[in-house]
């Protein structure tokens, strides 16, 4: 009986673990439960519309930035008040969304850029190995750099992703937010040699920005844990019946 209880306990633990690690769903909605432990959050809009290091209020607020690398897949996500499809026009100036910048070895050098475009609500992505970056428009905002890649080499790779917008409960300031999510294979990042990876995003003015750092993991998917748990349960029952016989 003792062995049976031991096997059942391990199986139950594995099943609970499988259920407690939700997968990233690329649905154009930045679910904080899905990204838990793998995102950074902004401090909201301050007095006079300050978002740091610049101003502009909700329209320039970078709310959440997510990066999760699991089982060889890179998942990235962004929620912001900045219009990712059309950009923002303010004071007669057109501001554009920047590229996602990737520092593969967390050494302060951004090695890759994820360029994107959104057409009729559908995103498309391109990955570049970057040799030079373009900084934001204003010198006092260079803490938010880089903005987008300047020169680089296109790396053919397949992406999945989705785009959405709306008024989300996770936005503490209210107003419309825009969400962009995507994924691609880690093997496309040839410069990666292990350890933490950093993701960065800002817009052309550099009014606000976020960085997030994560370490790739390789763990069994919930379905694999379910099979393992079922196998252990079966082994426990077989052992108990054998001992009883």
DSSP state of 85: T
Give dist(CA 193, CA 120) in Å, integer: 37
Residues 138 and 162 in one domain: yes
Residues 48 and 167 both lie in one domain: yes
Q: How many domains does the chain contain in total?
A: 2
Q: Which domain holds residue 124?
A: 26-218
Domain co-membership, 90 together with 189? yes
- Same domain as 48, residue 94: yes
Cβ neighbours, 10 Å, residue 193: 8
Q: State the pTM of this model.
A: 0.83
Helix and strand totals (H; E) in the chain: 2, 13
In angstroms, the Cα distances linking 233 to 3, 159, 199, 212, 242 are 11, 39, 41, 40, 14
Both 235 and 203 in a single domain? no
Return the pLDDT at 244.
53
How many angstroms separate the CA atoms of 211 and 194, rounded? Answer: 19
For residues 141 and 229, membership in a common domain is answered with no
| Residue 150 sits in the same domain as residue 242 | no
Each residue's pLDDT expressed in tens, for the chain with a length of 245 residues: 444 444 444 444 444 444 455 799 999 999 999 999 999 998 899 999 999 999 999 999 999 999 999 999 999 999 999 999 999 999 999 999 999 999 999 999 999 999 999 999 999 999 999 999 999 999 999 999 999 999 999 999 999 999 999 999 999 889 999 999 999 999 999 999 999 999 999 999 999 999 999 999 986 555 444 444 444 444 444 454 555 54
Instruction: Give the count of beta carbons closer than 10 Å to the beta carbon of residue 107.
Output: 11
The answer on 186 and 95 residing in a single domain is yes
């Amino acid at each position: 009986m003792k062995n049976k209880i031991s096997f059942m306990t391990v199986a139950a633990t594995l099943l609970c673990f499988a259920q407690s690690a939700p997968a990233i769903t690329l649905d154009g909605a930045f679910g904080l439960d899905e990204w838990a432990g793998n995102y950074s959050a902004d401090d909201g809009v301050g007095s006079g519309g300050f978002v740091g290091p610049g101003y502009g209020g909700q329209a320039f607020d970078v709310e959440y930035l997510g990066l999760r690398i699991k089982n060889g897949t890179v998942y990235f996500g962004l929620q912001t008040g900045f219009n990712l499809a059309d950009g923002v026009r303010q004071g007669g100036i057109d501001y554009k969304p920047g590229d996602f910048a990737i520092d593969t070895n967390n050494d302060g050098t951004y090695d890759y850029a994820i360029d994107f475009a959104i057409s009729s609500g559908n995103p498309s992505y391109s990955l570049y190995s970057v040799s030079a970056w373009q900084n934001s428009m204003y010198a006092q905002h260079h803490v938010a750099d880089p903005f987008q890649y300047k020169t680089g080499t296109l790396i053919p790779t397949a992406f999945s992703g989705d785009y959405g917008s709306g008024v989300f409960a996770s936005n503490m300031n209210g107003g419309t937010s825009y969400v962009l999510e995507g994924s691609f294979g880690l093997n496309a990042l040839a410069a990666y040699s292990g350890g933490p990876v950093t993701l960065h995003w800002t817009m052309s003015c550099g009014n606000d920005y976020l960085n997030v750092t994560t370490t790739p993991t390789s763990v069994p998917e919930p379905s694999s844990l379910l099979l393992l748990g079922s196998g252990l349960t079966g082994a426990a029952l077989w052992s108990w019946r054998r001992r009883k016989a």
